[in-house]
Structure 1
């Protein structure tokens, strides 16, 4: 089945990453799809022109050095005859999606007085199990943590988080503010956020460095900013990115929550005005229910003790991205400090498994984004530091959005080691 009309796919705004036809309530399979990384040699337009005749599912069409695309089985032979410089990310995307979807059963620890096991990080899990895991983890540390909700998604799911504090008492210190899974298909972001949460809670009483960090800051961690989209990736379409908001007069579904923040939303070039684009910015700044809830919560933190550090966790590419996204020449007032911290973070991450992260301002390092969270948090939310971290993988062998379960724990470990450095130095 042809999922994408190529004319629409490649005519979309520079950030077009996916669906360009109306999104129906269907179960999408990827059996036989082969995913290629195509070297562009800094001329992606020429490559897009060559592959325009194929019903390609784009993984990432924003990189000046390479394009990542899935080719349907009936077109693989013709694609390979083009003789492009490629490497294979997935030999059979459907097979890898099926392997990733073998969720382990989670047994609740409520009533056992036991902390959830680290075996949680051996597998991906259903959304309902994530909710139970967070409830169980919080129940193990009731005196210095709580589950909270900031509002509801378009389909009515609570946007929940966990608040963790130290010896100063609840809400007494500046905020460390983490988001995960704003883009639905980026499953590893939720797992990494969960691993960091797990370590912050379980190591407080035994690790003096973690105690010092917890006693200095309040942590507000929201693992699923886009719960509707995440659930949809588990039931219907693994590579879905946006929320599930419908709009009058539009046949396509969904808005990119990370192009909907009410700051520099009106700037052109960093998002799409087409409802069928994967980077659709919405009809007005901040008009998604998810973003309205996030903005209100952000302003609440700002008005309280302020926000020291904000990180929006994504995948993939292995980047530590600093402000700004809306303008490639713009720099934060404390840019030198941010650059130094980002370099130190990358060094600490690399020490665990040798994983290399590229650092730099978001627009000039990767691509332009408008209406994005870090820009809002920096200039409106008052955060001292507001970053995006793009997690594993970087190379073609890593799997892109469909990261093998065996890489969950290493991803969490290396980020946690990096966070220990960062949180001790911000």
Structure 2
């Protein structure tokens, strides 16, 4: 399919692509939806306008070069008639989601036993993730523990794993990881779990890992958005935001990563539309999840400081440095950060050849306001505050629906990257 000539009178303002709003708690299957990567030829607004009459679901936010869009089955003929320059990413999105969501079973192990590596053969239900972390911390009670920073909109604990070394609990600068800020990005939870697992299981046998753990206190929060993650497993696999309701609106959810109280009021990097995937909230830090994160981050800052922060996301394979709020701004230590990012990119590629793109967040990907990495850099005074967008990328991209066979390779390559990065910071 090729992009045909389009009259220039078409509206050029960006348009949000979204499926018809489902009823509350209605399960969305996406059966028969077909996902296309549509070349925009740098006219994304025109393509979005053509798609406006169709039932669609946007699968990417960076749209200068292409749109990844799921098309409802009843609109596939109408989409074909548009004759756009497109390729197929999913023949049947619903079928691929079902294949991905055959959760592995995990009944837990004894309180002092280590979970098996088979954990990374499949995705798992949220309750099993909690059991996994309890088992892992229970197996290493002398240098790890579960902690809670607060509760979500629906009352779930926002829990984390604290890992420390020979200096004792809370005695070193923090390495601080967030996962599953956006609910549909399941691979982020698996990657931070693998890093947690390796830090603990290799501490007593690998001198390099021992040196890393003895150098820092690790604070790992695998589910910043627990309500959204559960909803993505039970109702809508492509759900992104939290599950906060707002007075006077039927739209649900706020993007926790546009809600941080730094550069929140700037325009262009988030949405004021309550239905938008990037809705920023009515005020900075007005989500309970973000309020808890801000309070805990302040505690770390005021203790021994934060050396490294990584917000793990998917997808696209990016190593993103500050800043997101302004494409002309970079961190004061940008040269050092760039050198480290180049080294990380190189080390990640050694495992499977996976290629990551690095650079300042705004100019490399897109503008974001009220984002975690910017807050960490300028308010929490974190030396290195990054966002890493995990697999996949490329023309054969499976997007958020990353096949289970890629869980372990994704985790291994990031752990190898951390073994490079952490000793030299």
Normalised by the shorter chain, which TM-score bucket? over 0.9
SS of equivalent residue, structure 2 residue 330: coil
Whether 2:97 is the aligned partner of 1:97: answer: yes
Question: Could you tell me which residue of structure 2 aligns to residue 58 of structure 1?
Answer: 58
Question: Could you tell me which residue of structure 2 aligns to residue 4 of structure 1?
Answer: none
Whether 2:263 is the aligned partner of 1:264: answer: yes
| Contact 1:15-1:279 within 8 A present in 2 as well | no
| Contact 1:272-1:281 within 8 A present in 2 as well | yes
Question: Could you tell me which residue of structure 2 aligns to residue 7 of structure 1?
Answer: none
| Contact 1:19-1:276 within 8 A present in 2 as well | no
Distance in 2, matches of 1:13 and 1:224, equals 35
Question: Could you tell me which residue of structure 2 aligns to residue 180 of structure 1?
Answer: 179
After TM superposition, the structure 1 = structure 2 runs for residues 141-290 of structure 1, keeping only pairs within 5 Å, are 141-290=140-289
SS of equivalent residue, structure 1 residue 339: helix
CA RMSD of aligned residues (A): 1.7
Shift of 1:49: 2.2
SS of equivalent residue, structure 1 residue 81: helix
Higher relative contact order (CA 8 A, sep 6+): 1
Distance in 2, matches of 1:115 and 1:14, equals 50
Q: What residue ranges of structure 1 are gaps of 5+ in the alignment? A: 1-9
Residues 19 and 303 (structure 1), Cα distance of their counterparts in 2 relative to 1, 3 Å cut: farther
| Contact 1:261-1:286 within 8 A present in 2 as well | yes
Question: Could you tell me which residue of structure 2 aligns to residue 6 of structure 1?
Answer: none
Q: What residue ranges of structure 2 are gaps of 5+ in the alignment? A: 1-9
Shift of 1:197: 0.6
Whether 2:84 is the aligned partner of 1:84: answer: yes
TM-score normalized by the length of structure 2: 0.95
Distance in 1, matches of 2:220 and 2:357, equals 24
TM-score normalized by the length of structure 1: 0.95
TM-superposition CA deviations, 1:394-413 (whole Å, max 9, x none)? 12323100111111000000
Question: Could you tell me which residue of structure 1 aligns to residue 118 of structure 2?
Answer: 119
| Contact 2:145-2:161 within 8 A present in 1 as well | yes
Shift of 1:323: 0.5
SS of equivalent residue, structure 1 residue 196: helix
Distance in 1, matches of 2:378 and 2:233, equals 35
Residues 22 and 376 (structure 1), Cα distance of their counterparts in 2 relative to 1, 3 Å cut: farther
TM-superposition CA deviations, 1:168-189 (whole Å, max 9, x none)? 0000000000000000000000
Distance in 1, matches of 2:239 and 2:247, equals 21
Distance in 1, matches of 2:336 and 2:181, equals 27
| Contact 2:19-2:56 within 8 A present in 1 as well | no
Residues 411 and 366 (structure 1), Cα distance of their counterparts in 2 relative to 1, 3 Å cut: same
SS of equivalent residue, structure 1 residue 149: strand
Residues 15 and 196 (structure 1), Cα distance of their counterparts in 2 relative to 1, 3 Å cut: farther
